[in-house]
């Protein structure tokens, strides 16, 4: 009974959204590709996977120097070791994922019809641990970033393939992430889109802004500023703080929905994580 | 100088962990090391390293360093030269608290072509010095270091 | 160029809003002096913060202002504590306004939306 | 140390990443306000068949987890290389790598 009421409410919510100029995910994708194509006619589609380096030649050269021996390689090694170390019950991460967890990063985040939630790779890693009697890892950096880095490394060059199924709950999650991306927040009254949709290629203080499309492909990243690895949601928290908004809990509903919408925008681009950033 | 160093190194290699004989070594290495690396001006660092600060500006040194550093904590540098008989390549960052950033000994048979990543505290001139045939050749570039705090 | 203008516009609007609230608060700051008034003010600032938080639009400036205000209050500087709580409340109210605006108009930021 | 040694024509190209904090001794701990003591690699060397083929001396300005690239002649595919560093506190690390 309760479930039915919930479903009706969700559907009503969905309908009201649909009434106010709702665009389905495929149309969003088409719009955003065309939008950037017009903004940067010289940038090839695949190059968006390189973030700001698709737009800034000077920075690109330095990044390529770093890529000669990227600092994330250490995390990939550590991640591989952690990934293949059995849990107390003898199982490993490979038992929790399709294809033994190899070459699957491009499908995350995914919508889980059973639980009705968006599942990010990091959430799946921790739920796997808990299923096999291990304590969850702290989100954002450290071991979880290393494991995620290794899994991303095995998925390189696979095209990002986030699916929003025809399920009102999935569409609602996508819409919530979209609303987050386009809502001004914090004392600086800036939305994610203020910088990364309206202003890529322009400078904010001394930094050139990256386009939204392609921002997620290379995560987790080794950021020189952090001097270590961090996950996409760690970066979300940093961005929120920079506009002086209170960040949300990592892997809470808000950031998972945001990651869902945000990553969907990069569909079709090559997954190229882990990455190195300034 | 080389001979002594090599002996030290060989001694070092026979131990894989840090104890006993190693405790004596840093002192010896350090004496030579500190004179140049602790100097707080480029001139003193040059004197400490080469016993000379006479530099000949050369266009035969290929010095690759960004004009604008993405992040001052990680600035990629490559120094390469076709000058003959190179024995040392050193990098001086003039406004760092200690200008000598790194010094590379190039034995015969090793290419005069090295890459490293260094820290620059602010916008400054960075000088690559090459010792070839006993003479010091140099080239200089300005690197702008900005404090963005946002990007990436 | 137009893109740069839009970013400056955002900032200017933000600052103007802040300025307005700061001004209007400065006017009534003289009326509510005294510990009872101060605690009421703290309560209302805390409630506003909670409301902004529930809406998902809390600023990270609010809690530090409240913390500093409490500290100041304990030290006995009620005038400064009053100003800090007022500031916190003003920030929280702006955050609530921001949340309400976003609920109604967030789609305006989508490219090609009219 | 993570080392990649490869034959490129007649030269052995060596690239490495050493895991080391490279503390300058100038930084303060954000929480305690105390100065973090200096800890940085002073010398990193590469030996091939009992011969030192490269020595790097570092100051405090070399980035955390130092990266180096250099190349030398006379190496053979399949041969081992020995790389070692020593830092200002006397700690050392030695890594063997095979030329590919």
Structure tokens at A29: 């994708």
Residue A130 resides in a domain: yes
Residue C82 resides in a domain: yes
- pTM for this model (two decimals): 0.84
The ipTM value here is 0.80
For D6-45, what is each residue's pLDDT tens digit?
999 899 999 999 999 999 988 888 888 899 999 999 999 9
Q: What angle do CA A179, A180, A185 make, to 5 degrees?
A: 120
Which pLDDT value is given to residue C4? 46
Contact (CB<8Å) C109/A194: yes
Q: Which of C7, C109, C112 sits opposite A182 (nearest CB)?
A: C109
**Best residue in A65, A186, A199, A201 for a mutation probing chain B (most B CBs within 10 Å):** A65
Contact (CB<8Å) C10/A190: yes
Q: Chain B residue with minimal CA distance to D68?
A: B116
The residue among B21, B30, B92, B106 whose CA lies nearest residue B63 is B92
Write out the catalytic residue numbers of A.
239
Can you give the residue range of the structural domain that contains C70?
2-107
Domain ranges of chain D: 2-26+38-98
Domain ranges of chain B: 1-37, 40-145
Structure tokens at B78: 């490559």
Structure tokens at A10: 């969700």
Is the distance from CB of B3 to CB of B17 less than 8 angstroms? no
Residue A13 resides in a domain: no
Contact (CB<8Å) B26/D26: no
Which positions ≥6 away from A278 have C-beta within 8 Å? A59, A63, A207, A223, A224, A225, B70, B71, B74, B148, B151, B152
Residue C53 resides in a domain: yes
Is the distance from CB of A200 to CB of A210 less than 8 angstroms? yes
Q: What's the number of domains chain A is made of?
A: 1
Residue C114 resides in a domain: no
Q: Looking at residues A81-102, what average pLDDT do you find?
A: 97
Closest chain D C-alpha to B72 CA, distance in angstroms: 9
Report the CATH superfamily, name and number, of domain D2-26+38-98.
Immunoglobulins (2.60.40.10)
Residues of chain A contacting residue B150, judged by C-beta atoms under 8 Å apart: 204-205, 207, 242
Residue C77 resides in a domain: yes
Beta-carbon pairs below 8 A across chains A and C? 92
B117 touches chain A (CB under 8 A): yes
Is the distance from CB of C36 to CB of C42 less than 8 angstroms? no
Range of lowest pLDDT (A19-23, A102-106, B70-74, B79-83): A19-23
Fold of B40-145: Immunoglobulin-like (2.60.40)
For C82-98, what is each residue's pLDDT tens digit?
999 999 999 999 999 99
Residue A271 resides in a domain: yes
Q: What's the number of domains chain C is made of?
A: 1
Task: Look up the CATH number of the domain holding residue A249.
Answer: 1.10.760.10
User: From residue C35, how far is each of C24, C32, C42, C82 by CA, in Å?
Assistant: 21, 9, 10, 9
pLDDT classification of A56: cutoffs 50, 70, 90: very high
B125 touches chain D (CB under 8 A): no
């Amino acid at each position: 009974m309760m479930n039915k009421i919930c479903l009706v409410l969700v559907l009503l919510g969905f309908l009201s959204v649909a009434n106010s100029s709702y665009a389905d995910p495929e149309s969003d994708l088409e719009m955003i590709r065309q939008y950037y194509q017009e903004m940067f006619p010289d940038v090839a589609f695949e190059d968006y996977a390189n973030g700001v380096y698709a737009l800034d030649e000077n920075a690109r050269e330095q990044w390529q120097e770093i890529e000669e021996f990227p600092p994330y390689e250490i995390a990939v090694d550590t991640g591989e070791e952690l990934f293949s170390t059995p849990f107390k019950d003898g199982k490993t991460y490979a038992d929790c994922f399709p294809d033994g967890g190899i070459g699957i990063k491009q499908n995350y985040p995914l919508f889980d019809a059973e639980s009705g939630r968006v599942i990010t790779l990091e959430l799946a890693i921790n739920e796997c641990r808990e299923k096999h009697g291990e304590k969850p890892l702290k989100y954002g950096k450290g071991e979880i970033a290393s494991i995620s880095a290794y899994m991303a490394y095995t998925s390189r060059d696979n095209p990002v393939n986030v699916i929003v199924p025809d399920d009102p709950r999935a569409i609602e999650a996508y819409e919530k992430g979209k609303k987050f991306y386009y809502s001004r927040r914090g004392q600086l009254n800036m939305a994610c889109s203020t910088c990364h949709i309206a202003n890529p290629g322009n400078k904010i203080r001394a930094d050139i802004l990256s386009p939204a499309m392609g921002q997620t492909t290379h995560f987790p990243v080794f950021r020189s500023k952090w001097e270590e690895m961090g996950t996409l949601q760690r970066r979300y928290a940093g961005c929120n703080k920079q506009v002086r908004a209170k960040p949300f809990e990592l892997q809470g509903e808000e950031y998972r929905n945001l990651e869902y919408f945000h990553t969907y925008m990069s569909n079709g681009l090559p997954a190229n994580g882990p990455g190195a950033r300034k | 100088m080389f001979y002594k160093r090599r002996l030290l190194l060989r001694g070092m290699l026979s131990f894989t962990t840090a104890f006993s004989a190693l405790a004596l070594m840093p002192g010896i290495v350090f004496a030579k090391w500190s004179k140049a690396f602790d100097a707080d001006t480029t001139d003193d660092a040059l004197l400490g390293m080469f016993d000379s600060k006479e530099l000949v500006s050369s266009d035969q040194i290929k010095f690759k360093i960004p004009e604008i550093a993405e992040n001052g904590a990680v600035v990629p540098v490559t120094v390469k030269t076709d000058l003959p008989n190179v024995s040392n390549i050193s990098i001086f960052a003039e406004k760092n608290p200690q200008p000598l950033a790194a010094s590379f000994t190039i034995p015969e048979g090793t290419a005069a072509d090295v890459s490293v990543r260094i820290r620059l505290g602010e916008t400054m001139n960075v000088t690559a010095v090459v010792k070839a045939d006993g003479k010091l050749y140099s080239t200089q570039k300005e690197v702008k270091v900005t404090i963005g705090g946002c990007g990436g | 160029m137009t893109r740069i203008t839009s970013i400056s516009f955002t900032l200017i609007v933000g600052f103007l809003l802040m300025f307005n609230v700061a001004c209007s608060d400065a006017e009534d700051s003289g009326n509510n002096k005294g510990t009872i008034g101060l605690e009421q003010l703290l309560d209302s600032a805390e409630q506003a913060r909670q409301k902004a938080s529930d809406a998902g639009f809390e600023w990270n400036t609010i809690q530090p202002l409240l913390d500093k205000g409490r500290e100041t209050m304990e030290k006995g500087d009620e005038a400064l504590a009053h100003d800090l709580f007022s500031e916190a409340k003003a920030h929280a109210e702006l955050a609530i306004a921001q949340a309400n605006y976003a609920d109604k108009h967030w789609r305006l930021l989508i490219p090609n939306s009219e | 140390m993570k080392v990649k040694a490869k034959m490129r024509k007649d030269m052995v190209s060596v690239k490495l990443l050493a895991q080391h904090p490279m503390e300058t001794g100038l930084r303060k701990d954000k929480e305690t306000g105390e100065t973090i003591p200096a800890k940085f690699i002073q010398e990193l060397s590469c030996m091939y068949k009992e011969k030192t083929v490269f020595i790097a001396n570092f100051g405090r300005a070399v980035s955390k987890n130092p990266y180096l690239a250099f190349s030398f002649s006379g190496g053979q595919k399949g041969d081992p290389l020995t790389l070692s560093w020593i830092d200002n506190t006397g700690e050392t690390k030695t890594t063997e790598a095979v030329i590919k």
